[in-house]
């Protein structure tokens, strides 16, 4: 699989109930970077079969354009997950989201089922990506082995609902109850070179609270956020899109690094700040985000 | 494919279709109510009958209450209703793709 696909822009991942056609039919118009068709918690136990039929047919017939299509399958402790994967792979899903992932072998079990489905349905081997949702204290503690478990794994997502319950706490606007988990999972993701996504914000009407959390996510270094309502998409994209000042600063860093490298200089000043090669990746990422957000047309 | 018992799939929500299928004495009996009957009634009928034909259902009463569903949703609901009624795994469309 290509590195570009694994590293594609994923600022927003919009959850949609796979059993509800009204949600699935035009999700692409809201322009999230990814959609996550949910076969798990959003679907009642006696509708799991119907959701799979709906998912498969809609995956095959609706053109989502550039929007990535991920499927959240049911957990490994249910009788549903293998058939969920078969329907998803046969339908042409871009990836599978593993719920309640706690260890590397959870990822490997999912990967084996994907490999089998790719063979059965003549999909290109390795074309179906994986992301893992970390929802428990054990999952947080095992984040590094999860992040390093598979070549297919493009990222991990922290899931707050179950995690807060397991930690015997609840949502607080400060985010203090999630601070350790956010830090641990993010560090594991960065150490292994995969992406990291923050949990959903479920109070749809609390726009200011949502903005504060997204700003914190960006400042911490997350790649994006799971969202539950289309109204949240534009807010995340705006906050994750660099401003004019950041863009110009990044341009100057990239240009200065290139020029100074040619002159054999490793450390120098840009706008009064000391800069060296360690700043290059961040500056390039800023420009890539700005380009993706449509606010940068340059060629650096 | 034998329709063994009454089965329903889908809901009455917007953009969905509720499909109910039950055994008949022979042949296909089709009943449709739709908010877009004049514009799409014929197309919905074609999707339903084509799906039944692909599933080799030759005898059934099928009732569709459409709420503006896409063709893919109607197809999914018919397939699911047939699967629930017959218990036949051949009604699962991705099973048929296995090489």
Average pLDDT, integer, range A264-270: 81
Contacting residues for A228 by C-beta, under 8 A, at least 6 apart: A14, A15, A200, A201, A202, A204
Q: What is the pLDDT of residues B43-93, one digit of tens each?
A: 999 999 999 999 999 999 999 999 999 999 999 999 999 999 998 888 898
Is the pLDDT score of A2 beyond 70? no
Least confident of A77-81, A170-174, A286-290, B40-44: A286-290
The pLDDT of residue A265 is 80
Average pLDDT, integer, range A258-282: 83
The interface residues of chain A toward chain B in range 113-142, judged by CB-CB distance below 8 A, are 120-122
Least confident of A55-59, A115-119, A251-255: A251-255
Q: Under an 8 A CB cutoff, do A21 and B9 touch?
A: no
Residue in A with minimal Cα distance to B97: A121
- Could you please report the per-residue DSSP string of A160-186? HHHHHHHTT----TT-GGGHHHHHHHH
Q: Which residues of B touch A53 (CB under 8 A)?
A: 9, 76-77, 79-80, 83, 92-93
**Torsion on CA atoms A106, A111, A113, A114, rounded to nearest 10:** 140
Is the pLDDT score of A274 beyond 80? yes
Total domains in chain B come to 1
User: What ranges do the domains of chain A cover?
Assistant: 3-240, 244-292
Interface test with A, best of B35, B55, B76 (most A CBs within 10 A): B76
β-pair partners for A12: A225
What ipTM did this prediction achieve?
0.94
Interface test with A, best of B12, B72, B83 (most A CBs within 10 A): B72
Report the CATH fold assignment for A3-240: TIM Barrel (3.20.20)
Percentage of chain A exceeding pLDDT 70: 99
Q: Find the CB nearest B99 among A21, A25, A122.
A: A122
Which range has the top average pLDDT, A85-94, A249-258, A270-279? A85-94
Q: What is the pLDDT of residues A154-164, one digit of tens each?
A: 999 999 999 99
Interface test with A, best of B48, B68, B73 (most A CBs within 10 A): B73
Residue B11, classed as helix, strand or coil, is coil
The pLDDT of residue A79 is 97
Contacting residues for A100 by C-beta, under 8 A, at least 6 apart: A75, A76, A77, A133, A135, A136, A139, A162
Residue B35 lies in a domain: yes
Range of the domain at B31: 7-89
Q: What is the pLDDT of residues B14-44, one digit of tens each?
A: 999 999 999 999 899 999 999 889 999 999 9
Average pLDDT, integer, range A123-145: 97
Average pLDDT, integer, range A95-112: 98
Q: What is the pLDDT of residues A194-229, one digit of tens each?
A: 999 999 999 999 999 999 999 999 999 999 999 999
Q: Which residues of A touch B93 (CB under 8 A)?
A: 53, 56-57, 90
Cα gap A78→A21, rounded to integer Å: 24
**Can you give the CATH number for the domain in which B56 is found?**
3.30.230.10
Is the pLDDT score of A260 beyond 90? no
Cα gap A132→A156, rounded to integer Å: 5
Is the pLDDT score of B99 beyond 50? no
Q: Under an 8 A CB cutoff, do A61 and B94 touch?
A: no
| Mean pLDDT value across chain A | 94
Nearest-neighbour CA in chain A from B59: distance (Å): 22
Q: Is A87 on the interface with B (CB under 8 A)?
A: yes
Interface test with A, best of B51, B54, B94, B95 (most A CBs within 10 A): B94
Average pLDDT, integer, range A65-79: 97
Least confident of A99-113, A189-203, A270-284: A270-284
Nearest-neighbour CA in chain B from A91: distance (Å): 8
The pLDDT of residue A3 is 61
Residue B14 lies in a domain: yes
- Strand order through the sheet with B7-9: B7-9, B17-22, B59-66, B27-34
Token digits of residue A285: 């990422």
Residue B96 lies in a domain: no
Token digits of residue A195: 């992406």
Other C-beta atoms within 10 Å of A28: how many?
17
Instruction: Identify residues of B whose CB sits under 8 angstroms from chain A CBs.
Output: 9-10, 13-16, 69-73, 75-77, 79-80, 83-84, 92-94, 97-99
Q: Under an 8 A CB cutoff, do A50 and B99 touch?
A: no
């Amino acid at each position: 699989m290509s590195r570009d696909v694994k590293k594609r822009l994923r600022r927003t991942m919009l959850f949609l109930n796979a059993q509800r056609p009204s949600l699935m039919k035009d999700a692409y118009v809201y322009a999230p970077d990814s959609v996550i068709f949910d076969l798990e918690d959003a679907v009642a136990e006696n509708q799991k079969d119907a959701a799979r039929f709906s998912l498969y047919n809609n995956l095959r017939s609706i053109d989502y354009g550039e929007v990535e299509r991920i499927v959240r399958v049911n957990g490994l402790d249910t009788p549903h997950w293998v058939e969920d994967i078969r329907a998803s792979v046969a339908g042409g899903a871009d990836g599978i989201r593993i719920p309640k992932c706690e260890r590397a072998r959870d990822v490997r079990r999912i990967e084996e089922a994907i490999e089998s489905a790719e063979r059965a349905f003549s999909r290109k081997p390795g074309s179906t990506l994986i992301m893992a949702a970390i929802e428990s204290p054990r999952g947080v503690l095992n984040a590094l082995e999860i992040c390093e478990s598979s070549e297919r794994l493009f990222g991990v997502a922290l899931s707050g609902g179950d995690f807060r319950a397991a930690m015997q706490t609840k949502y607080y606007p400060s985010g203090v109850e999630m601070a350790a988990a956010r830090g641990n999972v993010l560090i594991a993701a960065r150490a292994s070179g995969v992406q990291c996504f923050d949990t959903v914000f479920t109070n749809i009407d609390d726009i200011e609270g949502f903005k504060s959390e997204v700003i914190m996510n960006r400042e911490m270094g997350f790649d994006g956020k799971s969202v539950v309502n289309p109204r949240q998409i534009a807010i995340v994209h705006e906050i994750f899109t660099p401003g004019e000042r950041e863009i110009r600063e990044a341009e100057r860093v990239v240009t200065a690094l290139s020029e100074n490298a040619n002159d054999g200089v490793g450390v120098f000043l840009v706008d009064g700040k000391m800069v060296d090669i360690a700043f290059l990746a961040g500056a390039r990422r800023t420009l890539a985000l700005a380009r993706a957000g449509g606010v940068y047309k340059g060629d650096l | 494919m034998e329709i063994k018992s009454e089965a329903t799939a889908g809901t009455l929500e917007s953009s969905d279709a509720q499909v109910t299928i039950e055994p008949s004495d022979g042949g296909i009996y089709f009943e449709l109510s739709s908010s877009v009957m004049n514009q799409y009634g014929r197309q919905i009928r074609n999707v339903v009958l084509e799906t039944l034909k692909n599933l080799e259902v030759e005898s059934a009463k099928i009732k569709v209450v459409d709420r503006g569903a896409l063709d893919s949703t109607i197809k999914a609901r018919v397939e699911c209703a047939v699967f629930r009624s017959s218990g036949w795994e051949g009604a699962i469309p991705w099973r048929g793709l296995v090489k």
